Structure 1
Amino acid sequence: MKGIEYLRKKLNKHIDRVNLRYKQYDMKYQDADVGITIPPELRIRYKAVLGWCAKAVDSLADRLVFREFENDNFEINEIFNMNSPDIFFDSAVLSALISSCCFVYISKGEGDIPRLQVIEGSNATGIIDPITGLLNEGYAVLERDDKGNPSLEAHFVKGKTDYYKDGKFKNSIKNKVEYPLLVPIIHRPDAVRPFGRSRITRAGMYYQRYAKRTLERADITAEFYSFPQKYVTGISQDAEPLETWKATISSMLQFTKDEEGESPKLGQFTTPSMSPFTEQLKTAAAGFAGETGLTLDDLGFVSDNPSSVEAIKASHENLRLAGRKAQRSLSSGFLNVGYLSACLRDDYPYLRSQFYLTQAKWEPLFEADVSTLTLVGDGILKLNQAIPGYADSGTIRDLTGIKGAGE
């Protein structure tokens, strides 16, 4: 066992990375000013705000809708249904996509139903078992004071949870669960990063930063585009200085000849074009879309011809694959939550292998339209004609998301 001091240091090591992703998602991160032509005092007036990173997360999170557990031999659906599932699952999915993982804190609630609380990755960490995806030891900050310092902490180990108030041991609550009551919900784990990978990648942050710089330059250039710079040559040295604001907004200016009969000559500098900025912004959008599996339509570059549902599915093939991968990795975490919750509810140390028949079911990533329903109906009819009883109402619901009248 590593101990709580080791876990505190581990959390402090990764907290900046997680907070960076949350700032990017909340559109509050201030990028470093780069550039050699625009003065800082002018650039700060035209700070750009862009929500592409938030769009990358929400476009996937909004499609990941958890339905229920199938073959629920231990009645874990009841536990989730008593813990506001509409809020719980959406909160866990969104937090996992932003920070690569979140944690579910399990505790005894009112009656026999355990209480489930989602804790973001900046407030919890642990030592993970790469085989089961459960923790061998966990640590979470349950409350922070006004200055952001931990005021209530929890140390999770096998058979008990220790609580610390203002850094000092407060009390301990024992249980009969074989694992710590802190479960990671991980997005895209692998052997190198067992705690997963964030949906907000470094490449995605670069393309957003590049687009923000382009918008700032375009905004400043637009001022000169709206009011082109003008000049006057040949004015006598004895003439009164020309008021620049009056010269800018006046529809007509009057100039008289000097004693030698010479008159001033008016001119205007070439107006800068806005086209290069539009092309730059579209280049950044194309790079970001390729990185996240989105399309230019998703980022505000609307095409002339509206797409059908099938065309949208085809253009979002990478997003669909990312969604299926996220479903597989998140399902394991939710099943682990149900497993430990059932152990705590029944006060009995079940084996993890006893839950192998229980499977997580998700709604389809893309909602079915009339055309899809027609195609699915024809396909199911032909399959059942070839192999009677091959596809049932459950198969149709998995394909379309529509619940039958008899279910």
Structure 2
Amino acid sequence: MGCEDDEAEARTEAEGGDSQMRLPIEGLSDEAQEAVSLLLGQLAEKRSINKTRQNYFEAAQKTKHFGIAVPPHMVEFETTLSWGEGACTHLNDRINLEGFEIPDSDVLPLNLSRIIRQNKLLAESTMAHLEAQKYGPAFTMALAGYAGEPDVVVRSLSARVTTGEWNPNSRRLTKILTVTGAKWGRVTEMIYADDEMVYTIAEGDRGGLTVVHSAGVPMCPGTLLPFRPDLDNPFGRSRLSHPVMRAIDRAQRTLLRSEITAEFFSAPQRYLLGADEDIFTDEDGKPIPTWDALIGRISAIGRDEEGQVPSVYTAPQVSMQPHTDMSRHDAAIFSSLVNVPVSVLGVVQDNPDSAEAMEVRWDALNKVAERAHVSFGAGWVETLQKAVMIRDGLDDPPEELDELESKWRPASMPTRAAMADAATKEIGAIPWVAETEEALRMFGHDRATRKRMLADRRRAQGGARIGALAAAGRGLLPVAAGSPGAAE
């Protein structure tokens, strides 16, 4: 299905959803009902563009050609490019949440590690970041868990089914709505929350929507994870912007024209002068197929009534070079829009870049990733603060988490060898850094590995001290002043 069809379908769904948005929901106050209607309207308004961006990400959009260079029998022929997916995934590979920490503390307070581990936040964060790049924002919601679930459940939500109301003063969501079920184009299940309550809404036995569960919350449990937010767009901007989508359209047209040209030069064009039309008909006088005439009958042509042999000419083979040059030009334009090197777009370059040149070409994308660390990091910190509030029944974020920070792997994705080389040089300039945990991080070790290495070091040091004390007690070794076991 093409983009035009998708947009038409989305408009139809949105128009059809208007009547449902005005349906009363049993168990909701008038104020909450109005908020739900407005949020459903926001989802309907964005459904078309979100569907279009999903198609570009999945390379499912229809080629938009002008109908000039495409023969009628190839109008339905499709070409696809996965550049939309690559624009997001190449960046997403550089946005890796490593964990959380409190400055000057080795342990996260309030059993925060349990929440992170039970909800697999470090693994699921990658999915949320990808959704934000596709549509502009992603969302999280912290909810009290049911039996058999964690004490607090943190869910990552896509902008295709989730929206909210942003308060610019408190800089947080004050309302959030996510559609969790739909059937035949109508919403059947959803979750709505504001600063006081969270409602689970579903279809009742009589078909209408009704509140099936509600619970009090200290504040809206939803959190915004925006990609490239600004003052005009606090919900962020999609990486698949309109210029990016138009660049993909242009490249697909070039690819389609090259496919058509390839069809022509794969079967050399010939023409005859002075040929009798009988050579193009079979024994029954019916025209023979064009392909059979090309590969069979044309190779054996008889003389005409006057004994003359028809003249056979072959048209010059069509060159693919103009299409190759155009593809490189399209790739260069797309590369400038999404800050990825042309070489990763499947376009072969005459002079491949060196490793140093490739690293420089990734610098612009690394800067985009580092800016995303800031906006995403603030969202994840807020998510964990709300999760603790819901779990512990607090009215305000706990003071122990005021200085909670998110930790990210370097966006430049250096190799272990490069990281070790940089760490060695820094330790050479500042020797005392070697005694800190930060030195292990600079060498590329993750948090769990650093903890194990430091624990092993402490055990080894403790064993050495005990051995020294035992030896000193037997009079085998003098105990140096100031060392463990020395007399004061």
Name 1:70's counterpart in structure 2: 101
TM-score w.r.t. structure 2 length? Answer: 0.75
Tell me if 1:151 matches 2:182. Answer: no
Q: 1:194 to 1:367 in 2, by over 3 A?
A: closer
Supply the distance in 1 between the matched residues of 2:280 and 2:52 (Cα, whole angstroms).
53
Shift of the alpha carbon at 1:275? 0.9
Tell me if 1:241 matches 2:280. Answer: yes
Q: 2:441 aligns with which of 394, 397, 403?
A: 397
C-alpha contact (below 8 Å) 2:138/2:226 kept by paired residues:
yes
How many residue pairs end up in the alignment? 401
Name 2:360's counterpart in structure 1: 314
C-alpha contact (below 8 Å) 2:247/2:333 kept by paired residues:
yes
Match for 2:176: what amino acid? G
TM-score w.r.t. structure 1 length? Answer: 0.89
C-alpha contact (below 8 Å) 1:367/1:400 kept by paired residues:
no
Shift of the alpha carbon at 1:79? 0.9
Name 2:405's counterpart in structure 1: 359
Q: 1:348 to 1:401 in 2, by over 3 A?
A: same
Q: 1:382 aligns with which of 425, 428, 444?
A: 428
| Aligned-residue RMSD, C-alpha | 2.7
Residue identity (%): 22
C-alpha contact (below 8 Å) 2:262/2:320 kept by paired residues:
yes
Tell me if 1:350 matches 2:396. Answer: yes
Q: 1:23 to 1:398 in 2, by over 3 A?
A: farther
Supply the distance in 2 between the matched residues of 1:15 and 1:105 (Cα, whole angstroms).
21
Unmatched tracts of structure 1, length 5 or more: none
In structure 2, the residue corresponding to 1:297 is in which secondary structure? helix
Supply the distance in 2 between the matched residues of 1:222 and 1:304 (Cα, whole angstroms).
22
Q: 1:176 to 1:319 in 2, by over 3 A?
A: same
Matches within 5 A, 1:26-45: 26-44=58-76
Match for 1:397: what amino acid? R
Match for 2:394: what amino acid? Y
Name 1:123's counterpart in structure 2: 161
Supply the distance in 2 between the matched residues of 1:60 and 1:230 (Cα, whole angstroms).
50
Q: 1:297 to 1:399 in 2, by over 3 A?
A: farther
Match for 1:30: what amino acid? K
C-alpha contact (below 8 Å) 2:98/2:122 kept by paired residues:
no
Tell me if 1:173 matches 2:204. Answer: no
Tell me if 1:160 matches 2:197. Answer: yes
Shift of the alpha carbon at 1:261? 4.3
Supply the distance in 1 between the matched residues of 2:420 and 2:115 (Cα, whole angstroms).
37
Tell me if 1:212 matches 2:252. Answer: yes
C-alpha contact (below 8 Å) 1:67/1:362 kept by paired residues:
yes
Name 1:93's counterpart in structure 2: 129
Q: 1:9 to 1:60 in 2, by over 3 A?
A: same
Q: 1:40 to 1:137 in 2, by over 3 A?
A: farther
Q: 1:323 to 1:157 in 2, by over 3 A?
A: same
C-alpha contact (below 8 Å) 2:389/2:398 kept by paired residues:
no
Larger Rg: 2
Match for 1:88: what amino acid? E
C-alpha contact (below 8 Å) 1:104/1:337 kept by paired residues:
yes
Match for 2:55: what amino acid? K
Matches within 5 A, 1:277-356: 277-303=323-349, 310-351=356-397, 355-356=401-402
Q: 1:3 aligns with which of 16, 35, 42?
A: 35
Tell me if 1:197 matches 2:243. Answer: no
Shift of the alpha carbon at 1:342? 0.6
Unmatched tracts of structure 2, length 5 or more: 1-30, 103-107, 282-287, 456-488
More displaced stretch, 268-277 vs 396-405: 396-405
C-alpha contact (below 8 Å) 1:159/1:180 kept by paired residues:
yes
Name 1:406's counterpart in structure 2: 454
In structure 2, the residue corresponding to 1:190 is in which secondary structure? coil
C-alpha contact (below 8 Å) 1:76/1:339 kept by paired residues:
no
C-alpha contact (below 8 Å) 1:384/1:391 kept by paired residues:
no
Supply the distance in 2 between the matched residues of 1:133 and 1:60 (Cα, whole angstroms).
26
In structure 2, the residue corresponding to 1:194 is in which secondary structure? coil
In structure 2, the residue corresponding to 1:286 is in which secondary structure? helix
In structure 1, the residue corresponding to 2:75 is in which secondary structure? helix
Shift of the alpha carbon at 1:356? 3.3
Shift of the alpha carbon at 1:259? 4.6
Tell me if 1:223 matches 2:263. Answer: yes
Name 1:106's counterpart in structure 2: 142
Report the structure, 1 or 2, having the larger helix content: 2
Name 1:83's counterpart in structure 2: 119
Higher relative contact order (CA 8 A, sep 6+): 1
